[in-house]
């Protein structure tokens, strides 16, 4: 696949650029040989909830894992010409459906120059790369810096671009943008749900993997606090994360999930009692219980989907019991 013309980058490390370019090339070559499904019937990418629809609008008993995630897409693109298959996962969302308020610079798009979907995707990708660098360097950023360094001639579209980039940072990488100074519109980047281990190899290598951990904790919670290994891998296959297949963000998924996060005590991975042949299951580990809660997770998932935790009474009651037990 020919490489796209080089675009302005923001001093991202060469290894990140190489991983991104490789991911674009491998997406086409590996999709036909992969044994896991890249999508499930009924998945959609037309709304913001389809980017990470961990909760459906239906009751818990009607919930299905085909609603967990939209079809596999690379979180970052190396070329705007590949947006059909490698666009930012949230780049095709309908921003008007999001409940999040954007930054203060929110000029009306009425009368402004319209942008194509691919042009918006490219600026979203640029901003995501910029924010990843800020996270790695542990630096604050400001609205003015984002406008001057990344958005440039597209400032009237900043609310849309910022909203989609923020959603991608949160859902793919597990990184939240929190405004720390409304007067200067400065933002700090922190891990989602208070989880303290981002899975990066070092401060300058790899990419944060909290988004995948949040997804797995969600699956376990929705499965009644214990999820079989088969259910977990089936759900992860929707986003192209498969056992035995290297992922350009998450590396070796099996090692990450069954070893690294088990060693860090975020997950418990154990054999199902009396299973022959052996089957395995996942539970929350003690560190997950200490750093976050079922209620925090449910509120996060409901917010992502523009819903309310009480719309899911079974999970809400379970989260309330968890809160009461912690209080005691």
If residue 327 lies in a helix (H) or strand (E), which one and from where to where? helix 313-327
Q: Which residue, 39, 52, 51, 27, is CA-closest to 234?
A: 39
Cβ-contact 119, 163 below 8 angstroms:
no
Both tokens of 315, joined, read 């999970």
Q: Which residue, 55, 86, 87, 85, is CA-closest to 68?
A: 55
If residue 180 lies in a helix (H) or strand (E), which one and from where to where? strand 175-181
Contacts of 107 (CB under 8 A, 6+ apart): 155, 156, 158, 159
3-state secondary structure of 257: helix
Contacts of 181 (CB under 8 A, 6+ apart): none
- Helix, strand, coil % (nearest 5) of the chain? 50, 10, 40
Cβ-contact 304, 100 below 8 angstroms:
no
pLDDT of residue 153: 87
Cβ-contact 76, 127 below 8 angstroms:
no
pLDDT of residue 304: 85
pLDDT of residue 59: 42
* Tens digit of pLDDT at every position of the chain (328 positions): 333 333 333 333 334 434 444 443 444 444 333 333 332 222 333 333 333 344 443 444 444 333 334 333 333 333 333 332 233 444 443 333 333 444 543 343 444 568 888 889 999 999 999 999 999 999 999 999 999 999 998 889 999 999 999 999 999 999 999 999 998 899 999 999 999 988 876 554 678 999 999 999 999 999 999 999 999 999 999 888 999 899 988 889 999 999 999 999 999 999 999 999 999 999 999 999 999 999 999 999 998 888 899 999 999 999 999 999 988 8
CA atoms within 13 A on the CB side of 264: 17
Domains annotated on the chain, with CATH: 117-193 (1.10.10.1200), 209-292 (1.10.10.1210)
d(CA 121, CA 69): 19
Give the sign of the dihedral formed by CA 53, CA 57, CA 60, CA 66: negative
Name residue 203's beta-bridge partners.
none
d(CA 212, CA 232): 11
Residue 63, number of CB atoms within 10 A of its CB: 18
pLDDT of residue 112: 56
If residue 28 lies in a helix (H) or strand (E), which one and from where to where? helix 14-31
Report yes or no on whether pTM surpasses 0.85.
no
């Amino acid at each position: 696949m020919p490489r796209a013309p080089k675009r302005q980058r923001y001093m991202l490390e060469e290894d990140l650029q190489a991983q991104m370019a490789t991911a674009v090339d491998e997406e086409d070559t590996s999709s036909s040989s992969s044994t896991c499904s890249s999508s499930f019937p009924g998945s959609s990418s037309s709304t913001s909830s389809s980017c990470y629809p961990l909760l459906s609008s239906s009751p818990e008993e009607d919930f299905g894992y085909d609603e967990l995630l939209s079809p596999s897409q690379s979180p970052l693109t190396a070329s705007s010409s590949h947006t059909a298959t490698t666009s930012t996962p949230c780049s095709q969302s309908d921003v008007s459906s999001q409940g999040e308020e954007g930054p203060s610079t929110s000029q009306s798009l009425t009368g402004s120059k319209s942008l194509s979907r691919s042009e918006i995707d490219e600026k979203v990708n640029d901003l995501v790369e910029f924010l990843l660098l800020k996270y790695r360097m542990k630096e604050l950023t400001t609205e003015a810096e984002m406008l001057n360094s990344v958005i440039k001639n597209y400032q009237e579209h900043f609310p849309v671009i910022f909203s989609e980039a923020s959603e991608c940072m949160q859902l793919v990488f597990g990184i939240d943008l929190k405004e720390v100074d409304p007067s200067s519109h400065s933002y700090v980047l922190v891990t989602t749900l208070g989880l303290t281990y981002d899975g990066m190899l070092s401060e300058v290598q790899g990419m944060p993997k909290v988004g995948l951990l949040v997804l797995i904790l969600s699956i376990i919670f929705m499965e009644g606090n214990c999820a079989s290994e088969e259910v977990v891998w089936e759900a992860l296959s929707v986003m192209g994360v498969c056992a035995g297949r290297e992922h350009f963000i998450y590396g070796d998924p099996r090692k990450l999930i069954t070893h690294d996060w088990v060693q860090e005590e975020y997950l418990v991975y154990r054999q199902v009692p009396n299973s022959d042949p052996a089957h395995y299951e996942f539970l929350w580990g003690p560190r997950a219980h200490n750093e976050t809660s079922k209620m925090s997770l449910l509120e996060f998932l409901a917010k992502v989907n523009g819903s309310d935790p009480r719309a899911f009474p079974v999970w809400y009651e379970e989260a309330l019991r968890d809160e009461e037990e912690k209080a005691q």
